[in-house]
Amino acid sequence: MEIYFLGTNAGVPTLQRNVTSVALRLLEERRSFWMFDCGEGTQHQVLRSPLRLGRLEKLFITHLHGDHLFGLPGLLSSRGYQGGTAPLTVYGPPGLKAYLDISLSVSQSRIPYKLEVVEHNGGLIFEDDSFKVESALLEHRIDSYGYRVIEKDRPGSLNAERLKAYGLKPGPLYGVLKSGRDVTTDEGITITAAEVLSEPKRGRIVTVLGDTRPCGNSIPLAREADLLVHEATFSHDLARMARDYHHSTTVQAAEIAKEAGARQLILTHFSSRYGSLDELIPLLDEARSIFSETLLAEEFRLYPVERKTGN
């Protein structure tokens, strides 16, 4: 599981950065990737990345401002031209379906795969055997949502040497033990799952927040997240401007991460007033003064989501 930034700028693109889009690579877990937001030019960013649109499984839109949305019709159309045939689900606030219906129909775009658009007002929006995704409303000029991706705990590994000592060969009983249930062999030997199974692998939590002022829903969405992606449009000396424009500062993002007990924070959605990476270093320093495990989002860089070990 890895985070990969395709766009890190707020409002409009610059020569240094594109507008917002974040990929969650799940190649080992699902052989796919998920995307959060799709600003204008995102498909060009994908072409410069190791991502392949045919593997895009889910796309989550935080809100309907153009810098998070205008790249979506083109990307959906290009996915088909690039051989994408697997179903794709797009999640987002009410109004998303109308936007896509009009954009795709007026442009006579052909979508040669099953495209499902799920509009939501927060809550549990997806769940299967491996993952669930929760969402909650944030505080922005229009409805903006944060997403909490929860990887479910996975069973531990079987101790092959211990099973061999019992004379148990690979077969159906392995699956029973893997599920945590005890078994009895044909010889009448009872093997308990606890003695041959390692501790479950703790699932990871990734939280991606849309544009927002500091608000109450940010904390539960980010609670004990292994990685929190939070906007930091402005440095903290511009806190008044951030509030007026319904955005957050570096310090506010760091305070959310600290209060929520997150393990790592990545700042993104930077104002175009900050040009080069060097100009963003003071913003990083501000955040680290509150929450030391903070990084700056850099486009075309992978950020592994580490699995917590121990208690």
pLDDT digits (tens, 9 = 90+) for 53-98: 999 999 999 999 999 999 999 999 999 988 889 999 999 999 999 9
- Is 120 annotated to bind a ligand? Reply is no
Return the beta strands (E) in the chain as ranges. 2-7, 21-26, 32-36, 56-60, 88-92, 115-119, 123-127, 131-137, 145-151, 183-184, 190-191, 205-208, 227-231, 265-268, 294-296, 302-304
Average pLDDT over residues 281-296: 98
pLDDT digit string (tens) for 217-264?
999 999 999 999 999 999 999 999 999 999 999 999 999 999 999 999
Q: Hey, which residues are catalytic here?
A: 67
Mean pLDDT of the chain: 94
- Is 244 annotated to bind a ligand? Reply is no
Query: Which residue ranges does the chain devote to CATH 3.60.15.10?
Result: 2-154+201-304
Report the pLDDT value the prediction gives residue 310, as an integer from 0 to 100: 56
- Is 143 annotated to bind a ligand? Reply is no
> Which class would CATH give 2-154+201-304?
alpha beta
Decide: pTM greater than 0.85: yes
Average pLDDT over residues 198-222: 94
- Is 211 annotated to bind a ligand? Reply is yes
Q: For the packed helices 96-106 and 72-81, what is the interaxial angle rounded to 10 degrees?
A: 60
- Is 37 annotated to bind a ligand? Reply is no
Q: With contact defined as beta carbons under 8 Å apart, do 61 and 44 qualify?
A: no
pLDDT digit string (tens) for 3-33?
999 999 999 999 999 999 999 999 999 999 9
**Of 55-69, 147-161, 267-281, which range is least confident?**
147-161
Report the pLDDT value the prediction gives residue 200, as an integer from 0 to 100: 79
Between 1 and 184, where is the model more confident? 1
Between 51 and 198, where is the model more confident? 51
Report the pLDDT value the prediction gives residue 169, as an integer from 0 to 100: 79
Q: Are β-strands 115-119 and 145-151 bridged in parallel, bridged antiparallel, or unpaired?
A: unpaired
Report the pLDDT value the prediction gives residue 147, as an integer from 0 to 100: 98
- Is 67 annotated to bind a ligand? Reply is yes
